Amino acid sequence: MNQADVSKLMSQLRIAVRSNKRNLKNPDGPEGRLLKLRKTVTALVKHERIELFYNRADEARGYAELLISNAIRHGDRHKATMELADYWLLEKQLVHKLFKVLVPRYENYNVSYTRMFKAPRDYPGIYYRKSVLELRGNPYPVLTQDNSQNRNLLHNVLLDEARKEFRREKLASLANKLAAETEETPKPTVEKATEV
């Protein structure tokens, strides 16, 4: 039952966070781990879509999310945030990108800033799982299949037909109504028709 650290205030991540960190084995210990992740985060901010091992991607994802959320929260006038950006982005022109490109892009998002996909593992190859990590709103073509556009897919056919039938029914009921009105009071509808 430890007390939560109250000296820092962080906004909630919109991704699922593991309860504990992965050590990402390397000889330099935690510092080396962070260096690895810095490289990944830098690459992510630079290229906006990268393919790498799942574990490293999953670890780096949280850092990238927090970096962006901090940048949005405090802006580029905040010294601590600037220091953070300076530490996490190994290429310094990317600091500019973070504050001038990514912050405006993500300001009004209410979903996570990154996406992660499982990628196929080449056989035979290294046995680690692979993944694709990307920033949302990147300029590349989407990775997932867009099922909503192909009108020939089964559910789209069904929905289109349902829509057509609904329209037909609506039109038929309108026509019926008109017919009923003309039967009851022939004069006003004639006026209406002329108006139309």
Partner 1 sequence: MATATKLYKQSWHALRQLQQYRTIASGNASASIKSRNELFNQEQKRQRDAVGRVEKIEVRYLGLPEDVTLVMNNHISTPYNCAQHLSEGHCKRSALALVDGSVPWDMHRPLQESCTLQLLNFNVSEPHVVNKAFWRTCSFMLGAALQRAFKDEARLQLHSFPGPNIKSGSFVHDIVLGAQNWEPTKAEMRAISAEMVKLAAQDLRIERLEVDKELAKEMFKDSRYKSEQLPSIAQQNQSRVTLYRLGDHIDISRGPMVASTRFLGKCTILAAHKVANEGSTDAFYRLQGVALPTGFSLNHIAYGLLEKRAQKLNSARLPNEPFEEQQQMQLS
Partner 2 sequence: MNVNARFLTNRIAQQCAYKRIVTFSTKPTEQSAAAAVPQQQQQQQHDAVAPPVRKPIVPAHYRFVYPEFLPDPKVEWRNSIREKLERLDMLNRRRQIELPEFYVGSILAVTSSDPHAAGKTSRFVGICIHRERCGLRARFILRNVIDHQGIEIVYELYDPTIQKVEVLRLEKRLDDSLFYLRDALPEFSTFDEHMEAETLEEGTPVPINELKVVLRPRPWLERWERQNLRGVANIDQYLKDKHRKSSEKVQKPWEKYDLMKQYRATIPEEEQKEIFAEVHTELHTLELQRKRNKRKRTFVKPKHLA
CA distance 66 to 63: 5
Q: Of 119, 24, 99, whose CA–CA distance to 62 is shortest?
A: 24
Cβ proximity to partner 1, 10 vs 153, nearer residue: 153
* Shortest Å, Cβ 64 to partner 1: 28
What residues make contact with partner 2 under the rule CB under 8 A?
1-6, 8-13, 17, 19-21, 30-31, 34, 59, 62-63, 66-67, 70, 83-84, 87-88
Place of tokens 């990590």: 133
Q: Does 161 engage in binding with partner 1 (CB under 8 A)?
A: yes
CB 168 within 8 A of CB 174: no
How are strands ordered across the β-sheet holding 114-119? 49-53, 130-135, 114-119
Q: Does 143 engage in binding with partner 1 (CB under 8 A)?
A: no
Q: Does 142 engage in binding with partner 1 (CB under 8 A)?
A: no
Q: 30 contacts which partner out of partner 2, partner 1, none, CB within 5 to 8 A by kind?
A: partner 2
Cβ proximity to partner 2, 21 vs 163, nearer residue: 21
CA 11 to chain centre: 17
CA distance 10 to 27: 30
Give the interface with partner 1 as residue ranges (CB under 8 A). Answer: 145, 147, 150, 152-155, 157-159, 161-162, 165
